[in-house]
Amino acid sequence: MLDEHCHAIWTLPEGDTRYSARWGFIKKEFTKAWLASEGHEQSRTQSRLNQRRRGVWQRRFWEHAIRDENDYARHFDYVHYNPVKHGYVERARDWPYSTYHRYVKQGVLRCRLGWWRF
């Protein structure tokens, strides 16, 4: 998770299509914990106030159904490279909050990602 956005790749249980409900739950629980720990929120518009929405998350999200192994590989790499792209670190391995470290230990990233500064 970066300070202004996050990326995730999920595998939902067979027959489960409640992607939006899952994001809604994550956003709700994160917001409660964030505000309880004195985290700040953005100013809220009248529309947000009327709908009882907090100023922590954007209203929408973008989802993408993975089409095949190549599509998965591109998104997998994108997620791990994102902190580098946004200037938080120089190499993906320097971002402590990433699943990158687990996948290196499992041997998943050994070959595929050599062309990026990992």
Active site residue 81: no
Q: Provide the 10 A C-beta neighbour count for residue 57.
A: 20
Q: Which of 72, 78, 97, 103 is catalytic?
A: 97
Report the distance separating Cα 91 and Cα 61, nearest Å: 26
Contact status, residue 63 vs residue 19, Cβ threshold 8 Å: yes
- Any idea which residues carry the catalytic annotation? 97
